[in-house]
Structure formats: C-alpha cells, structure tokens
Amino acid sequence: MTESLVQSIIDVLGGSVGKEAIVFIISMIPILELRGALLVAGPLLGVPVAKAIPLCIIGNIIPVPFILLLITPVFKWMKGTKLFKPMVDKLESKAMSKSDKIEKYEFWGLVLFVGIPLPGTGAWTGSLIAALLGVKFKKAFPAVILGICMATVIMWFISYVLLGGVHVLG
C-alpha cells in the first residue's frame, strides 16, 4: 500500500514540481513522513543527502504543532457529528492502543516512539497520542523534534548508505 501511495504521489507531482518538492510533500504526509521521504529521496529520486535531510525534517515538523495544539478541539467537534464520530473513535482507539510507553515515560517515551522507525510510529501518531494524553506542548514538541532527528539518522543510514550510497556526497 505504501509503495503504491508513494508511486502515485510521484506520478501526480513528477511533471509539475521538482524532485525536492516531492520529497518535501511526502515528508508531511501521515504514514509516509520523513521515513518514506528519505527512502524516496535517495534510492528513487537521487536527491543529494544535503538537500534531502533539511527538506524531510522541515516537512515532517510542519504538521506537529497543529496536531499538538488543534487535534483535541477538532476531534471534539467531529465527535459531535454523526458522520465523523465513528472515524474519530477509530483513530483515537488505534492511537491510544500504542500509547503505553508514551504514557509511562512521557518525554523519552515520545522521543523513542517518534524516533524508532517502525510501522505505526512517527511524528503524526506520536503527536496525536501526546495530545490525547494531555502532554503539554512545551514538553511534547521538543520530544517530537528529537524523535524526528533520531529517525533522520536511522533513515539516512538505510536510505543513503545501505540502499543508495551513490548519492551520499552528491
């Protein structure tokens, strides 16, 4: 599913925007985020690492404050509608099923949740869980940023060293 989503994005945007813009946009999309963007940047698009990393980090950070500050009131409003309530309940349930480490260790749990690139983790889900748990913005935001930096190092190694080494210095 993820591969077809990435390919669809590349197909749609490829003719109208540059490779760097594609990488930036992918880094903002839930599920794909920085992890998917770096995999696309290096091995698939050949974007030099010096360009890809800042684009991915900034793109992945952009949604975080909005999620941390606005998701709770947006979800509350959506739960008041017949149409959106089931979807919000499902999203909350899925996110909270992964919340135990964040709830227990808060800052460091959130850092590790965002930073270790496993399915269902990342800045979007980490921010959602932090907001639903009521973690204060001044604690959650730096934890998510640190997690994004950790994920960057891991994904740089996978994308540029293991899979696409020819672009490491380009």
8 shares its domain with 48: yes
Question: Could you tell me if 52 and 69 lie in one domain?
Answer: no
Within this chain, do residues 103 and 125 fall inside the same structural domain, yes or no? Answer: yes
Instruction: For residues 170 and 165, give the distance between their C-alpha atoms in angstroms, rounded to a whole number.
Output: 10
Number of domains in the chain: 2
Per-residue pLDDT tens digits for 57-104: 999 999 999 999 999 999 999 999 999 999 999 999 988 998 988 988
Give the mean model confidence (pLDDT) for residues 123-149: 96
Indicate if 70 and 131 belong to the same structural domain.
Answer: yes
Same domain assignment for residues 56 and 40? yes
- In a shared domain, residues 114 and 145: yes
Structure confidence at residue 170 (pLDDT): 42
pTM: 0.88
Of 52, 60, 75, which is closest to residue 132 (Cα–Cα)?
Answer: 75
What is the per-residue burial (b if ≥16 Cβ within 10 Å, else e) of 23-49? bbbbbbbeebbbbbbbbbbbbbbebbb
Question: pLDDT, tens digit, for every residue of 37-47?
Answer: 999 998 788 89
* Boundaries of domain holding 19: 2-61+154-167
Say if residue 111's pLDDT is above 90: yes
Between CA 141 and CA 110 the distance in angstroms is 10
Question: At 127, is the pLDDT very low, low, confident or very high (cuts 50, 70, 90)?
Answer: very high
